[in-house]
């Protein structure tokens, strides 16, 4: 496993400043990378070296231990510049959080120490073929005295896998060896991406988020030690805000896409659009109907950003208050709905306010819409409405399944 040498970020102000600097570096090439499907290896190296990927590591281990709200702002700022780069480390932060919630002291020191040094984690979680996305066929089985295990299976949509130093693999243990001390259930196996038997396939062909390396990973007789396995139960079967944390970052990505699309629309109208003749103005930027529409879009984006701030504060509170986890999940669901709506609306309306010339393929302005449409498919907002409504009408708390 090879990692870059990483700086140490020690405060929220420093994290925000570094994120702004990284975003300024990444933004100019975002449309080109998307058009050419040029994977951002150099950019991800710089992101890892900046120290941003370690900002949630606990202070006792040498990290900044920044709260979810600050991480969400970092992700949002990166997503304004390049939503692909913002999504790549999503699973990294989620599986850092899983270690904090469910890992042993030795596992935290081992893996979070690597993160502090610049290591990147990618997910190997989703599968195809089951009745729903919750069906997991990838198995982990004891192979000798209970100290080693074998993993077999195929994972899809493994975002960031080509850039990863470590893979976090969702597995199912059905037949634990009593000598191992493990119980049956779902485990995350943390393993180097170059472990023998691991094959990372660059086959992601989505219409959007094209450079996220969200392809297939195959596990064929992959051998891991017992201390590489973390039982998920402590994180996902208890009110830990694990799901709210993960969903908050998805909402941040969508809010960032919305702001990026709005910025691009305003810039195009200012510098390239021609006015409609009936407006009787010399510049498109002075057309009152264009101004009206841009104002409407700005309200949608601002509402999404405000909801994201509120949701981040709610998740911050819930980290140390299990009785507030339900409220945090509802706040995040609300933010996700508004961010989803803003991202898809604004990225489409960009062309409405900019005019015909904005549709030129060479400009690749449609990457905002393709990114929004693809990323917002991650989990359906129609179920967010359900949980919000049930909470209000029935007083029913949201479920603890990890995606709300």
* Half-sphere exposure (Cβ direction) of 346: Cα atoms closer than 13 Å: 34
In the numeric block, the tokens 């086959």 are attached to: 203
- Predicted pLDDT of residue 1: 54
What is the CB neighbour count within 10 angstroms for residue 131? 6
pLDDT mean over 198-219? 98
d(CA 215, CA 204): 4
- pLDDT tier at 72 (50, 70, 90 boundaries)? very high
Contact at 8 Å (CB) between 336 and 250? Answer: yes
Instruction: Reduce the secondary structure of 56-110 to three states and give it as a string.
Output: CCCHHHCCCCCCHHHHHHHHHHHHHHCHHHHHCCHHHHHHHHHHHHHCCHHHHHH
C-alpha distances in angstroms, 213 versus 122, 201, 276, 290, 332?
10, 9, 42, 37, 26
pLDDT grade for 3, boundaries at 50, 70 and 90: confident
When mean pLDDT is compared over 3-7, 65-69, 143-147, 396-400, the highest value belongs to 65-69
CA dist., res. 24 & res. 354, Å (int): 24
Greater model confidence, 388 or 130: 388
Give 275-312 pLDDT, tens digit per residue.
999 999 999 999 999 999 999 999 999 999 999 999 99
77/130 Cα distance (integer angstroms): 36
Q: Which two tokens stand for residue 389?
A: 């409504």
Across 174-185, average pLDDT: 87
Mean pLDDT of 114-143: 95
* pLDDT at position 48 over 80: yes
pLDDT higher than 80, residue 148 = yes
Interval 264-279: pLDDT, tens = 999 999 999 999 999 9
Q: With contact defined as beta carbons under 8 Å apart, do 186 and 172 qualify?
A: yes
DSSP of 113-144: HHHHTT--EEEE-B-SSSSSTT----EEEE-S
* pLDDT number for residue 2: 60
173-202 burial, b if ≥16 CB within 10 A, otherwise e? Answer: beebbeebebeeebbbbbbbbebeebebee
Looking at residue 26, its pLDDT comes to: 98
Q: Which domains does the chain have, with CATH numbers?
A: 12-120 (1.10.540.10), 139-232 (2.40.110.10), 238-394 (1.20.140.10)
Q: Are strands 121-124 and 166-173 parallel, antiparallel or unpaired?
A: parallel
**Sign of torsion over alpha carbons 337, 340, 341, 346:** positive
* pLDDT at res. 216: 98
Q: What is the pLDDT of residue 175?
A: 86
What percent of the chain lies above the pLDDT cut of 70?
100
Contact (Cβ atoms closer than 8 angstroms) between residue 83 and residue 344? no
Rounded mean pLDDT, 113-137: 95
The mean pLDDT value for 376-382 works out to 93
CA 260 – CA 348 distance, rounded (Å): 12
The mean pLDDT of 317-329, rounded to a whole number, is 96
């Amino acid at each position: 496993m090879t990692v870059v040498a990483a700086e140490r970020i020690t405060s929220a102000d420093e994290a925000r400043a570094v994120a702004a600097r990284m975003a300024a570096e990444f933004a100019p090439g975002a449309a080109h990378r998307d058009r050419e499907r040029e994977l951002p290896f150099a950019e991800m190296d710089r992101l890892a070296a900046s120290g941003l990927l370690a900002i949630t590591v606990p202070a006792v281990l040498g990290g900044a231990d920044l709260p979810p709200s600050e991480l969400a702002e970092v992700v949002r700022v990166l997503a304004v510049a390049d939503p692909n780069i913002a999504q790549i480390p999503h699973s990294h932060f989620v599986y850092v959080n899983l270690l904090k919630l469910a890992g042993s002291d030795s596992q935290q020191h081992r893996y979070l120490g690597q993160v502090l040094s610049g290591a990147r984690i990618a997910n190997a979680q989703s599968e195809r073929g089951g009745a729903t996305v919750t069906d997991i066929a990838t198995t982990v089985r004891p192979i000798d005295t209970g100290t080693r295990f074998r993993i077999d299976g195929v994972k899809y949509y493994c975002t960031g896998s080509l850039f990863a130093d470590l893979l976090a693999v969702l597995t199912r243990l059905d037949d634990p060896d009593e000598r191992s001390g493990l119980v049956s259930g779902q485990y995350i196996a943390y393993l180097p991406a170059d472990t023998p038997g691991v094959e990372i396939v660059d086959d992601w062909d989505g219409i959007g988020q094209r450079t996220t390396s969200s392809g297939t990973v195959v596990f064929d007789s992959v051998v891991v030690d017992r201390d590489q396995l973390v039982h998920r139960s402590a994180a996902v079967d208890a009110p830990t805000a694990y799901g709210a944390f993960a969903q908050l970052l998805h909402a941040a990505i969508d809010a960032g896409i919305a702001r990026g699309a709005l910025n691009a629309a305003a810039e195009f109208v200012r510098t390239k659009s021609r006015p409609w003749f009936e407006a009787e103005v010399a510049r498109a930027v002075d057309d009152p109907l264009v101004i009206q529409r841009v104002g409407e879009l700005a309200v949608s984006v601002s509402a999404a950003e405000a909801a994201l701030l509120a949701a981040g504060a709610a998740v911050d509170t819930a980290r140390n208050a299990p009785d507030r986890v339900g409220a945090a999940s509802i706040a995040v669901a609300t933010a996700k709905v508004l961010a989803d709506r803003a991202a898809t609306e604004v990225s489409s309306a960009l062309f409405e306010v900019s005019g015909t010339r904005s549709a030129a393929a060479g400009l690749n302005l449609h990457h905002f819409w393709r990114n929004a449409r693809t990323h917002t498919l991650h989990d359906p907002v129609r179920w967010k409405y359900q949980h919000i409504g049930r909470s209000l009408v029935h007083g029913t708390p949201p479920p603890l399944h990890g995606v709300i």
